[in-house]
A and B are shown apart, each in its own frame.
Chain A
């Protein structure tokens, strides 16, 4: 009798209209709000990126390092980071998958690999930050009006032409090639190296601010995700979920982990590609 009245009265509590547990549903609602937060950040980035498009640095001029390889390698390192994060997402799905089959050892193995992937990603991000903060060997010059110009060495091919003297590049692709103007601008300039919250050798300081804020906020998500994964991993080893009879905690933390991957897919596109 009591079960019938429970089922007929869906909103009386005790039933699951979404056929999802409370914890999973709340994780989803949290992720939805987090998605709105990140779209706010990336939207603000897009606003500045197109508002100041003529002096906005191009990511391919900024992130050109790859460990062990000399010279410019645009996009390669961040592509590797993306690969690592997608890979760790896959290991997480496999952990959830084996959790549903109550396969304790396999859940533990895949969970462990997920943690390793997350740790490698965090290390890569730290490396990228380090290079961004330290900047290039040659640095840039900050002109009297505050704009930042990169000195292009003589002999480099620029828009199909080569110059036998140093020229300046402001922003992504505004080149100054008149000799007198260059020496005039250089006289009233100062050298800057690397990027921080105030100056940015690659262009507008707002680019550096957005970079630190968005990738930092995402990196903090990855960091807390790794911590959560470690806690769940220890619980798996202790057999907590075996005793509980289900591995739903792995699924919940898995949702969070996939969300971190999802955000990175967008950060990768809007920060590094566009």
Chain B
């Protein structure tokens, strides 16, 4: 019972990742909207995919909360900080 349940979840996550990648590729080939809109769509879809990989495939969802925070805080503070500086200097954000 437990066994079937978790294998099913793995395949559901796989299906989600596959569909999101398919949407990305379709948007990339046909470009139905403006570049800015596409760019943010890609970024959001990528972050959703990353969430599913980290939470389900890497099992973070089932780790202890203090462990999740230990991993998440450095990433969520340092990476946006670095990207903010680099992209501001590149002239893309402003």
Contacts and interface: CB of A to CB of B under 8 A. Distances in A.
Chain B: interface size category: 35 or more
Contacts, number: 125
Interface stretch (A201-209, A227-235, A240-248, A258-266): A258-266
B82 A19 contact: no
Interface string B64-94: 1011001100110011001100110111100
Contact of A32 (B18, B57, B71, B91): B71
Interface centre among B38, B56, B75 (most CB of A within 10 A): B75
Nearest to B49: A265
A101 B17 CA distance: 26
Nearest to A259: B58
B91 A19 contact: no
Interface residues of A, number: 49
Given A20-B67, A36-B79, A262-B54, A44 B49 contact: no
Nearest to A266: B46
B46 A265 contact: yes
15 contacts: A17-B64, A18-B66, A46-B86, A46-B87, A49-B90, A53-B92, A60-B28, A76-B25, A76-B29, A90-B11, A92-B57, A97-B6, A261-B53, A265-B50, A266-B50
Interface of A: 17-20, 25, 28, 32, 35-36, 39-40, 43-44, 46-51, 53, 60, 74-76, 79, 82-83, 86-87, 89-90, 92-94, 97, 101, 251, 255, 258-259, 261-262, 265-266, 268-269, 272-274
Given A46-B86, A89-B53, A269-B43, 11 more contacts: A17-B66, A32-B71, A47-B90, A49-B90, A51-B90, A82-B21, A93-B10, A268-B24, A268-B46, A273-B28, A273-B38
Which 4 A-B pairs rank lowest in CB-CB distance, beginning with the nearest? A50-B92, A50-B90, A18-B67, A269-B46
